[in-house]
Structure 1
């Protein structure tokens, strides 16, 4: 049977039946491998031979899964074994003359169950909020009651036809609900919205409350969601996101809704602000917090990268749906938004959980406004015009899809978007400790120099010249001596960011097409390539140690092979001399020391022949020197741009940038205190 699945994948015909066979074989393989390893009888050599054969089957499964995302998903840790696959596995055992063991609770079912009470937490500040507002419990009576109406379609199975209506759509059929023209495009503090962003916000202001916002990456879905919540007064607002964009959501909230307090749930929530207007939580810790989140009284909920919940039986999907149900039961017309640039990963069924989150359907049938709209259409699935009308009914509930090419006039031809991330765990703590040691060392040198100076040379406040001399001395020592310094710290930060940057690049590749991934250090490139290989994402590697023929072969593979999704490039070796216009998204996993080098890298895609706007995503480690360097690069960007245009103005060199970074670190420390405290966190 494993050969049947392999042959089907090679032909590109992976049907649901093939996936069921694949999952059944994988289930039997896991069980048999566990049985052989636990078996006490028999010789060691016999056991080794059996395991070798099983590893051969496992290899076939793994290489087959790489060909199809649906098969690969079956091997994920949170993949749920379907009833059909489990039944087929038992039939296969019986066919071999083996009586299956009695049915037991499957690990996948355990994974899908809610977290145990022992694992649930309630942050202290949330308890304080509840105590401070004892009379503000949700008013269940405020939930709108629908008047029953005759159901002409009550006897029809409708979910299948609704999903099929999207498969039957022609290329010219609309994919976006009608949106009103906005009266204004101004955001907070005079920030100007793009026209397509202002349209969605106008729809929320006009009373629309459910959206599947499926704009392509780079079209500002985060800003649209935040300002839609503002227009709908949907506070408190819950935002559920992947870990990699958690910090960025807090940053964007500060930019677009600066008058709204935002809090980010980290770990057990010890630092949560229970009185915040916007609560940002990542999928990975949702199981710990779903209890108090459900009782918090939210009036709006945003799910970012909503394709993460496509597996209805996964734990994170169950938690998201539970929160959505509780919110809709406690609030009158809450704002619900699902954000994703790739609403469909494997097949049309990926819509189901997203629609259920939005309250358009349940497990069996359409609900509420969607059912009313289908009734008003006056058609049944037996009528020829039903599918086009049904698709329109779903889209009008709130599907919004715009492509870059459709709104090209609205956005810059080239833009840089920062994606801050938090470095957690031992690596993050070590990096921050090294940064504190660097600051203490420079402060000590500064204070020693002051102590040895005569009173005639005293300067009121911070001596800027002395700061620069200390920073220059530190930079000189870093280049000639071993040990922790600004260069080793930047390399360690790059290593710590590699995994998250690779995950984001893979996510972009799946939703928006080819991606160019830039890094400075070889070990960061290695880590990223290992991550892509684990995820089954094909890539080309473009490095400085390659021969010209190998380099060109890898470039051609990325440019010409539609299956090669990512080009992993050295920032220094591949930043010039390449034409990579097939990609309009760039991920800068590590920062350059100059804006000019950064611009050169971006211009591998943003050049003559490029037909789409280019977005460069800078992955920045928040609360580290990485963030300071990003600020410095931006401050020099104008000079660099003028220099590239032929200006005579001086442009900062990499050495200048390194010096300015150290100057900024020392200056910040001296402003804070003459003695750097032990718990100093260098933040910007």
Structure 2
């Protein structure tokens, strides 16, 4: 005869069986949710259990709706079943609290991927449910043909960090968007027969129409809805973010350096909901970007990709990668469903033949293809979009989808067509410039949006190279000029003609040939590059000594140089004078570089920051100083401006002075003059200033032409 306990157990089983007959899916869900909970207790869920978690979540909702609507259930039975479903839901909630990356998976209300559909079908069949034929047969979705992102040349370098595999497989519930794969018929336009790219460049080169190259932005809202607690967004930043809120999704943000482009981008992504977001940056600013994401959008997670990405957080909202390693991460980045792409210091991609540029453009194309509405957030950030030529715009416009390099895109073409003009009409050019600007160019100058920002002055400090080293430099310059002059004369003789003056075409030809030879690392003898390096070495001690004297009178100083040996020489002199310095170089880790920046800005004992022009000239905040020493000249006006604006930026209270150390009576003086002339292009194209067009030659080529003319006695 059974014991009382046994009888009670049988009664409980019988009661449970009756309830299971009324809702046979519930015990299956209870078993599955316990399996997921056990996995979550051991660490983050893998792809299979993430799918299982989400299928449980929407089946609980389906069953709850059915139980509430079932007229055959008694009130007590309905209450009991709802209580059991609530128990499953509570386990789901506890699991999500343990692994917060799965919280978004609770939001799906149906199975949309083949994997999830099969799982739901199998569980329902296990419960004895009868399913319609269309739910029994499940086929995989044919993938949409996509533009290749990874070229054959870099395919073998691709890496997929282990955690990324989990992310790629963890959210299969978004049905692929096939709308972008359907070719759209392009309407015939009035300007289809015209070459439009040349006129567009010309419109900017001449500054047609005048005025700053900045689109109309919404007014500052009455209330600040975007500033995190303890921070305040400046009016010009808020207006930009309001443009994003209004629906604009592609921008060339060309504000002058120091006006907070990073913060504007982070806030724009938040307002647009453009996550996952990829930010491609110079290596020197990766850690700073991660800080800015945390600072302005503390509810979002950022991860910095280093090397092969073994330690990244694959479920982060923002991925930050530097240009140099982007190539090995293209494949997986093209698959994670990016909804936004920011390219910082976008002038880095101006060379379309470079792998760097090709990587960024291919990835941007993929992001446009895979974003459901075809309108991802694309932002090119650079305070210096034009370096030598107005066609530096080309790669940036392609990245933003405004042109394809050969013709304007459909939106820009419509705007040009709407002018009713053609490139044969003079009035076309200001209209064309305005059309491109309206696509999303935003350019603000410090004097216009930061009225309280102190003045900036560039002061030249000529120095005499009177020692033997200095005399050898001047002799080498003369020999280089004479070498080119001899080649010039041979060409004149070979052509058998005599001219009264100098033939500028042949001057250019000879200088270009010399320049091409100089770029060959195997070329022997002195060339324009070795000359400038020797001048920098000769000036190093004089520049460092001036920085010491300056530091004693004004406090902290930022010392910029182009070459490592110049930096080393300066640091040795600073140490000999008992000064504590930090160094910002290209071979540092991001962490070490950020520690050096923090020490300079926050530690009163640190007197001088010795910085590489190329490694620390962008994205670095050194506003604890108000004096900059440029020990070596850059080859571009943009690089010089970027360096000075590490100090002259929002938050600076003192007037900023940049001291250019220039070796008198050498090529250095001419290079300084040429750099200043290069400022005219940006003033015309971006700021609408009336400046006489100058030469579009590179500084190096122009310097060689100068040496040749001097040797010819011009």
TM-score if structure 2 supplies the norm length? 0.46
Bigger Rg, which one: 2
Which of the pair has the greater relative contact order for Cα pairs under 8 Å at 6+ separation? 2
